[in-house]
């Protein structure tokens, strides 16, 4: 799989290759003889006291598995820290840019010093790098990923397209991730904890109100509904809200015609977006979702419609 493109300037920030553990301290002030090949100052490694380093407030990853940290600590105990931490100077301390798992594992081991590479980076570059590092390793849960995108947009006034370019994702991936933040906090927490899948969450987002979303979530958990069954449940809730469902008809996934569900799935695959098909007694509606002007234009092209 091709490595996602780094954001502008981040290649220089990271360097082009992994840095091996040096045999001993290499202070940044070390001079290079004029006859020696030029050394990139960004690649100089030094060992610093672990307690001088603090975590970065822009780190999008909030959950660190104790089990995987212990496994990493065991590896470091045997092999050492092969890839130095990347830090920047802040008032009175060093702040992590990349390598928080290694830093936490080093704390578990009680290490006094760790290898670091010092970089100059502004807040935006740090957030971009933290996102990229975690996304490439698939370390973020869906909510952490969405919150990282949101922070780039809100704090640095970036557009979704710009965020997508910087983190090496498609605009659709960024847009769909951001939609998860529209869910109630309790449902977001369930996604973060792995109790609710992103597939379920995307279906729940088809409901207009928080009350309906909570109702659907409770039914999913209580009855153990899969994504297909959740689609049926959401369709019934939408129909009841629109006044097209029989008042006393129970809301169950089984009430939806399997043929309608199949048609809806085919339309969703063909158009590449969320589609909802409502049908009853020869009448109904087809709802096609889009989340930007560009996406609307793409859907119109698929349908063979040319705007005047």
- What HEC string does 113-181 produce? EEEEEECCCCHHHHHHHHHHHHHHCCCCCHHHHHHHHHHHHHHHCCCHHHHHHHHCCCHHHHHHHHHHH
Which residues are CB-neighbours of 11 under 8 A, at least 6 positions away?
none
**Do residues 13 and 124 make contact, with C-beta atoms less than 8 angstroms apart?**
no
**Do residues 228 and 261 make contact, with C-beta atoms less than 8 angstroms apart?**
yes
**Do residues 57 and 89 make contact, with C-beta atoms less than 8 angstroms apart?**
no
First to last CA, the chain: 40
Q: Encoding tokens for residue 7?
A: 């954001």
Q: Encoding tokens for residue 288?
A: 């096609």
Q: Give the residue from 14, 29, 265 showing the smallest Cα distance to 117.
A: 14
- Residues labelled as active-site residues: 100
CA distance 43 to 123: 21
């Amino acid at each position: 799989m091709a490595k996602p493109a780094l954001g502008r300037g981040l290649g220089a920030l990271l360097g082009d290759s992994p840095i091996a553990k040096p045999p001993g301290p290499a202070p940044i002030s070390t001079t290079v003889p004029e006859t020696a090949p030029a050394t990139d100052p960004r690649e100089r490694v030094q060992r610093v006291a672990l307690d001088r380093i603090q975590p970065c407030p822009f780190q999008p990853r909030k959950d660190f598995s104790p089990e995987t940290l212990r496994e990493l600590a065991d590896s470091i105990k045997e092999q050492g820290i092969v890839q130095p931490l990347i830090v920047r100077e802040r008032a009175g301390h060093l702040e992590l840019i990349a390598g928080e798992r290694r830093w936490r594992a080093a704390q578990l081991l009680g290490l006094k010093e760790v290898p670091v590479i010092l970089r100059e980076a502004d807040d935006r570059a740090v957030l971009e790098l933290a996102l990229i590092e975690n996304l490439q390793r698939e370390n973020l849960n869906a909510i952490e990923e969405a919150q990282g995108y949101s922070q780039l947009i809100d704090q640095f006034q970036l557009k979704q397209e710009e965020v997508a370019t910087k983190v090496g994702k498609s605009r659709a991936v960024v847009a769909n991730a951001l939609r998860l933040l529209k869910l109630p906090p309790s449902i977001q927490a369930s996604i973060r904890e792995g109790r609710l899948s992103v597939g379920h969450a995307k279906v729940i987002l088809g409901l207009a109100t928080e009350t309906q979303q909570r109702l659907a979530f409770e039914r999913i958990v209580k009855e153990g509904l899969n994504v297909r069954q959740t689609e049926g449940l959401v369709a019934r809730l939408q129909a009841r809200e629109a006044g097209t469902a029989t008042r006393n008809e129970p809301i169950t996934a089984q009430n939806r015609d399997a043929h309608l569900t199949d048609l809806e799935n085919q339309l969703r695959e063909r158009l590449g977006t969320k589609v909802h098909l409502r049908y009853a007694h020869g009448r109904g509606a087809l709802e096609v979702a889009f989340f930007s002007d560009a996406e609307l234009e793409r859907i119109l092209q698929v349908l063979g419609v040319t705007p005047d």
